Amino acid sequence: MARHTVILCEGAHDQATIVGLCETCAGWNRRKGKPDALPQQLEKIFPNPKRDRLGAWEFEYWPTCLQRNEDWLVIRNLGGVDAVLGSKAALLLQQIQPDAVGIIVDADDQPTEQRVQLFKQYYVTVYGHADSVEAGQISSEDEPRLGLWICPNNAEHGTMAGAARQQIEATKPDLSSAAAGFVNTTRELGWPEASRRETKMLLGALHQVVSPGGSLATGLFEGKCWLGSVSDLVKDMKGLADFIEALVAA
């Protein structure tokens, strides 16, 4: 029987990283736009356009739909950790009926336990068994299966972008070294962003080589260009891949 899984994450780069990982290392196939075959109970995962206070149309980043055999995996970013671990996610999940829900957020510089408590506070309003979920775990006490992953590894401070950087340093060392040289040069020239956002700058430089003229998200979507194979995955990225595979398992 077909299974339907939804993953909520923070931003467009996280969404692209997860998609690249699932396509390259887990056999999922990306479907364009809103597939006609998408099960009806998942359709409300797609945001509706709305107007801002000045009357201009606002469009949120669309989710990405992946299919593997008869199963569906839909990944949507909500624009930040406060939305994913807050009422926006809870309201969204009340409108859909997936078989499994995965929540993936960054630890940043916060204690893991703080992220876990926020998760429980909001998700228990939708799923009673959310109270039994800990970082890196999946609960199947009730429906849907429910899991929480805090990047990079449910224990240390960091981000998914940091894990992606480690992956590229491992699989594309020459390219990574060249990108690091570029970032260091900009730092020496006095550009403050080279220090404040070093990892994003490094990833951006790398993916301008992989996808010239494209956005960082576009480069991250193309997982085959930077991830390598399953056997090449660094520890934190392998942990994330294993978590997603356990989440979608029947």
Domain residue extents for the chain = 4-158+235-248, 170-231
**Cα(50)–Cα(69) distance, integer angstroms:** 34
Cβ contacts of residue 166 below 8 Å, gap of 6+?
234, 236, 237
- Of the candidates 55, 100, 103, the one whose C-alpha atom is nearest the C-alpha of residue 250 is 100
Model pTM score: 0.91
Backbone angles phi, psi at 242, to 5 degrees: -65, -40
Strand locations in the chain (E)? 4-9, 29-31, 50-51, 57-58, 64-68, 71-77, 100-106, 138-139, 145-151
DSSP state of 37: T
> pLDDT (tens digit, 0 to 9) for every residue of the chain, 250 residues total?
789 999 999 999 999 999 999 999 999 999 988 899 999 889 899 987 777 777 776 667 889 999 999 999 999 999 999 999 999 999 999 999 999 999 999 999 999 999 999 999 999 999 999 999 999 999 988 999 999 999 999 999 999 999 999 999 998 888 888 888 887 787 777 766 655 677 888 888 888 877 788 888 888 888 888 888 888 999 999 999 999 999 998 6
Output the CA angle 77-65-14, nearest 5 degrees.
30
Cβ contacts of residue 245 below 8 Å, gap of 6+?
26
- Of the candidates 250, 245, 221, 243, the one whose C-alpha atom is nearest the C-alpha of residue 12 is 221
Q: Which two tokens stand for residue 64?
A: 């990405």
Alpha helices in 85-222 (DSSP H): 87-93, 112-123, 160-171, 173-188, 193-196, 198-210, 216-221
pLDDT at 250: 66
Write the class of the CATH domain 4-158+235-248. alpha beta
**Cα(145)–Cα(140) distance, integer angstroms:** 5
- The CA distances from residue 181 to 108, 187, 213, in Å, are 25, 10, 20
What's the length of the chain? 250
Output the CA angle 179-182-187, nearest 5 degrees.
130
